[in-house]
Amino acid sequence: MTGTEQSLVNRLVTTIRKGRDITLVLGSGLTARVVPGVDRMVDLADEFVAQALQNSDLQAALAGLRATRRDAALYAAYRRTFAEWLSPVEFDIVVQRATLEAYRPDRATTASWERVGYHRGVQLEDDRDAWSLPPGVIAVGELLAGLPDRFQRRVITTNFDPLIEIAVRRAGGTARALTLNRDGTFAGPLGPADGIDVLHLHGYWRPTSESDERALLHDPEPLRADDPVILSALHEALRGDTICVAGYPPGRNDALTRAVHEQADVLWARHDDDASPARAALIYTGVDVDRLFPAVRRGLATLPPTPPPSAAPAAPVPPGVAPAGTALHRVHLPTLEAVLGTRPSAVELLRQLDYEFRWRRFDDTPDTPLDLVFWPVRLRQPTLIYAVQATVAAALSARGVRVVLCFDDLAGDQHTRSWRARFTDEVERWFALVEGARSPEVDSLMSFCSPGRVAERLQDPELLRRPTHPWAVQLEYYRGDRMILDVARAAKAFPGAVDLEIDDAMAGAQIRTTRAERLMSTPAIWAYLQYLLRDTRPEAVMTLGGEDESVMWDQWHDTFPDAVGHLFHPVMANVRQDARMLGARSFREVEDHLRKAMRLESWDREDHYLHWIVQHAVVLHRYLRNRPPLSYDGRLLDSWETIRAALLDPRLRAGTVRLLAREVAALLMHEAV
């Protein structure tokens, strides 16, 4: 029998929901994007011989092998030839070098052909954020860390790299590497009280203990199909109700393939469309592991659990909304949070914002734990942009980060106090949408610059170490070759202008139409940040705002040496901050804006209105709130690509637009969904 990738996703999700155990068997296809395959390994071996060993005889022997063998046969012959000319363990240096191609620190820390010992290997693995993990590996780590018992607290792999262990640790779990010995035992007892055992059948990239420093690390030879000792060990490891094999070719004549075929319920995923071998219970073709495991993770977040046999049929619910009391987002357990990726660290969340949603992160020390987010906001009508920023700030606060919201209200009038109260109430409601979020500290530049507070700071010797008064900041700001154009850009006197084709005359004309208070904003915001830095390390501080504020912060770095980081959300093309499209007052008004946007030729362009709304007010917003993705007419709407496809379908367009409008209205106006 054969199946598709989607049917395998459904099968795995259903199996887990029913409380049945799964044993994962993972091959090189899981890490092929970052760990070299056979061809690259052979090339590395040639480089090692030429650069480090300079052994002309071995070079000639290897050249002869290249002329007569291909693929796996060539790789095995290279290993044997290394053993013949050098030693059985010398090829391990090539294996380690290949593994370290997935290790990408900010600066090189390993020698070109370094033999990595136990302690050095552990040290490199501890630098877990420097390892490049494909999406499939990340999802596997989250599944194992989040639901360890459903996976027998183990995973079997023929890979020698540490990426599965690192993925589990990144997801908040613990993992240890065990290798299969020739006597059929593993290097350590199976079944720890907690954590995940990663059983490496072909060895591991580094010694697993101080005592095996000279042991052969990577050795695919022991898995002979007729070895009863190895077969017995594999049968013991393959104890799950269901065996899922992915990234491993099923046609090999080895002990692993034989042991898997002897199990009752086997799901074998193949990347190609070849349905053989027939001995496997079910072959799934056209499977990409970088889609498969993230889809399983999402499936666990969106599919309702199987009801008990006596349960009454559930009442129908509107499209896109999970039944009350059944959706996983209403069950807040640490294991589920780990599986869904809902509680990564603040640093990991920032990486996801950068990688998945194109929020630009400017940070000289990206791995430094984040302590404080400074969110300066111009006091105005609360809009959808501020709602999205507030949700991101709330998600960071839920991860232990202090958030300071500071209103730029220097251009205040008699309504300033009521505007501050209204905006604060809106922010509080947006923060309350994110589970575990802590309310931000709220202040204003008008209060900060008041004579009484300025006098207090001037009388505090500690605060005099930094320029916490706007006038002191201005002395630094204008000390360099600052031009009027720089000042105008920092004050955003040219809304929507991103090019540099503006001269000083144009800048002067524009500034004459700008209220003078706007020109005070930059030094006042900087002074407030200097005030926050009095007791917080600059590298642990990040500002939050739009991409159009990058000019102001570029000038900060030109003026002050502090390594403060910044997080900028993408600016919406052709839509200004105060546009009605961002401040609609009803569901119908939002729906009308979406329909009008779709009539434009540019409706689906990146960072234009509709794309921005979908990416940030729908997809990102649901992720940060631990809500399942939208769905409509049986289709999962979990990305811009899937939502765009639904909007292009005449049958689905109207319903999809209504679904999006309901989401935006719920966020902006707190209307129930």
Q: Summarize pLDDT for 223-272 with one digit per residue, the tens.
A: 776 788 888 889 889 988 899 999 998 777 888 988 998 888 899 999 88
> Does some domain include residue 301?
no
Q: If pLDDT is split at 50, 70 and 90, which confidence band does 277 have?
A: low
Residues 559 and 494 in one domain: yes
Q: If pLDDT is split at 50, 70 and 90, which confidence band does 339 have?
A: very low
Domain boundary, last residue among 121, 154, 171: 121
- The residues pairing with 360 across neighbouring beta strands, listed in sequence order, are 568
Q: Which residue has the tokens 């071996």?
A: 45
Range of the domain at 164: 2-33+133-296
Residues 288 and 415 in one domain: no
Question: Where is pLDDT greater, at 249 or 649?
Answer: 649
For residue 516, pLDDT beyond 70: no
In DSSP notation, 469-537 reads SHHHHHHHHTTSS--HHHHHHHTT-STT--SS---HHHHHHHHHTS-HHHHHHHHHHHHHHHHHTTSS-
The share of the chain scoring above pLDDT 90, in percent, equals 42
> Does some domain include residue 325?
no
> Does some domain include residue 12?
yes
For residue 653, give the 3-state DSSP assignment: helix
- The residues pairing with 154 across neighbouring beta strands, listed in sequence order, are 197
Number of structural domains (the chain) is 4
Residues 587 and 625 in one domain: yes
Domain boundary, last residue among 75, 91, 121: 121
The whole-number pLDDT of residue 311 equals: 40
pLDDT tens string 103-158: 988 765 555 687 888 888 999 999 999 999 999 999 999 999 999 999 999 999 99
Residues 23 and 51 in one domain: no
- Within 238-321, residue ranges assigned H as helices are 255-261, 289-302
The whole-number pLDDT of residue 508 equals: 57
Would the pTM of this model clear 0.75, i.e. be above it? no
The whole-number pLDDT of residue 492 equals: 59
Q: Which residue has the tokens 């049968």?
A: 235
For residue 490, pLDDT beyond 70: no
> Residues with Cβ < 8 Å from 191, sequence gap 6 or more?
153, 154, 197
What torsion do the CA atoms of 492, 495, 497, 502 make, to the nearest 10 degrees? Answer: -60
The whole-number pLDDT of residue 548 equals: 84
Q: If pLDDT is split at 50, 70 and 90, which confidence band does 487 have?
A: low
> Does some domain include residue 591?
yes
Residues 140 and 240 in one domain: yes
**Residue-wise burial string across 44-56, b where 16 or more C-beta atoms lie within 10 A, e elsewhere:** bbbebbeeebeee
Residues 43 and 29 in one domain: no
> Does some domain include residue 467?
yes
For residue 171, pLDDT beyond 90: yes
> Does some domain include residue 379?
yes
For residue 180, pLDDT beyond 90: no
For residue 42, pLDDT beyond 70: yes
pLDDT tens string 57-102: 889 889 989 888 877 789 889 988 988 888 878 899 999 999 999 9
Instruction: Of 141, 185, 146, 180, give the one whose Cα is nearest residue 163.
Output: 141
Residues 507 and 604 in one domain: no
The whole-number pLDDT of residue 333 equals: 34
**Residue-wise burial string across 257-281, b where 16 or more C-beta atoms lie within 10 A, e elsewhere:** bbbbbebeebbbbbbeeebeeeebb
CATH no. for residue 545?
3.40.50.620
> Does some domain include residue 575?
no
Residues 599 and 563 in one domain: no
Residues 529 and 422 in one domain: yes
Residues 272 and 380 in one domain: no
> Does some domain include residue 15?
yes
CATH no. for residue 241?
3.40.50.1220
Residues 169 and 21 in one domain: yes
Domain boundary, last residue among 545, 569, 593: 569
Q: If pLDDT is split at 50, 70 and 90, which confidence band does 411 have?
A: confident
Question: Where is pLDDT greater, at 507 or 466?
Answer: 466
CA separation for the pair 469, 560 (Å, rounded):
15
For residue 344, pLDDT beyond 80: no
Residues 288 and 370 in one domain: no
For residue 601, pLDDT beyond 70: yes
